A = this chain, B = another copy of it.
Amino acid sequence: MYSADYLRNFTFRLFSKLGCPEDDASTIADILVAAERRGISSHGMIRIKNYYLMHEKGRINVRPEIQTIRETPSTAVVDGGGAYGMVAAKRSMQIAIEKARNAGTGWVTTKNSNHFGIAGYYSMMALEEDMIGIAMTNANPFVAPTFSKSRLLGTNPVAVAIPAGKYPPYVADFATTPIARGKLTIKGRQGESVEEGLVQDAEGRSSTDPDVIKEGGAILPLGSDRAHGSHKGYCLNSIVDIFSAVFSGANFGPFVPPQVPFLSPPDEQVGEGLGHFFGAMRIDAFQEKEEFKNRMDKWMETFRKAENIDGEPEVMIPGDPERAMEKKTEREGIELLNSVEKDLGELADKLCLDFEIKRS
């Protein structure tokens, strides 16, 4: 088990070695470790090796010029300068928050960026400002629209964070597919099958093999099939793609450049990098702050009182599972997969850093 501090310090030093300015290395470390603390290890330390290799291949700019290239009182288009996604995304969300201070709300669409880690982090930046935060991103194409076998969309997550008063905030952070890509990979490695309604094979036939994704298969949109509303999941997923990439001038749909070093970007590019979309809304744009928070508290009390089905867990408020994991990892530490420890150990050797292997 590792402490969050240990992993944060290691990650900070690693990205500093790659040439990132101190603030940027610190941002990347914070966000990767936040994923581990919140139990979303698919977006945590496991990503470092690929992030490193993407830099080595010259596909990441560690000294980016991140700039607003177009704006109105409540909006900005940000050029991420080819930065690590976390760096471009955090700056973009800060701009959304600054816009909201003056205009009531702020909306930022970002191009020329890369994989940004957990969407929830950026949405939660708004909470300290008594604002509602929204973050979304497009991603590599593994998702087929309803009726199709073509992989045209990413798992395109959406995060929304809303402050409450005496209770912890409402924080929804979800892929717009029934299952996230990272979870499928883990199932595949463990040789397990998955339920029907999550993936299809290359011909579009229902499959229970998570590895069909490696053989031209696709992840289904939220809703799974037409009878269960997959066309609605396709709508939601494609809205994220359009807001993130058509608005900003990034690559949309199947043109999103792969975020792994061993796959090259598609020959045709329709923009720069991948895209994100951020929003910030002042709660006092809608109600007096106290009143707003009281109303959210009442909303949460109402949902806490929901009667659960016999044998099922208690009803949750979005954000509960991640908060439970934060408590657990704070108490017990953060566990890494053997393969992740090994990768980080090798990277540490290469970069003359210390990394303590705990398990292998």
Q: Residues on A close to B: CB < 8 A? A: 70-75, 77, 102-105, 107, 109, 144-150, 152, 158, 160, 162, 170, 172, 174-179, 195, 197-198, 200, 203-205, 222-224, 227-229, 231-236, 238-239, 241-242, 246-249, 252-255, 270-271, 281-282, 285-287, 292, 295-296, 298-299, 302-303, 305-310, 312-316, 318
Contacts and interface: CB of A to CB of B under 8 A. Distances in A.
Contacts of A292: 246-247
23 contacts: A70-B287, A72-B103, A72-B104, A72-B282, A75-B285, A104-B107, A145-B303, A148-B307, A148-B315, A160-B239, A172-B235, A174-B229, A176-B232, A178-B223, A178-B232, A198-B228, A205-B309, A222-B233, A223-B233, A231-B316, A253-B299, A270-B295, A270-B298
Please indicate which of the listed interface residues A77, A195, A205, A315 has the most CB atoms of chain B within 10 Å of its own CB: A315
Given A249-B287, A252-B302, 18 more contacts: A71-B285, A72-B282, A74-B74, A74-B104, A75-B105, A148-B306, A149-B307, A174-B232, A174-B236, A178-B227, A178-B232, A198-B228, A222-B223, A236-B236, A246-B295, A252-B295, A253-B302, A270-B295
Contacts of A73: 73-74, 102-104
A205 B178 CA distance: 21
A133 to B, nearest CB: 12
A281 B107 CA distance: 9
Contacts of A176: 232
B314 A147 contact: yes
Contacts of A177: 229
A70 B71 CA distance: 25
Contact of A75 (B198, B223, B286, B296): B286
Nearest to A270: B298
A313 B287 CA distance: 47
A25 B162 CA distance: 37
Given A148-B307, A235-B174, A312 B229 contact: no
A242 B162 contact: yes
Given A203-B309, A247-B287, A281-B75, A222 B227 contact: no
A75 B145 CA distance: 34
Contact of A222 (B70, B222, B315): B222
Nearest to A105: B74
Contacts of A223: 178, 222-224, 228, 233
Nearest to A312: B147
A191 to B, nearest CB: 19
A172 to B, nearest CB: 4
B227 A195 contact: yes
Contacts of A316: 145-147, 231
Contacts of A152: 302-303, 306
A149 to B, nearest CB: 5
A339 to B, nearest CB: 26
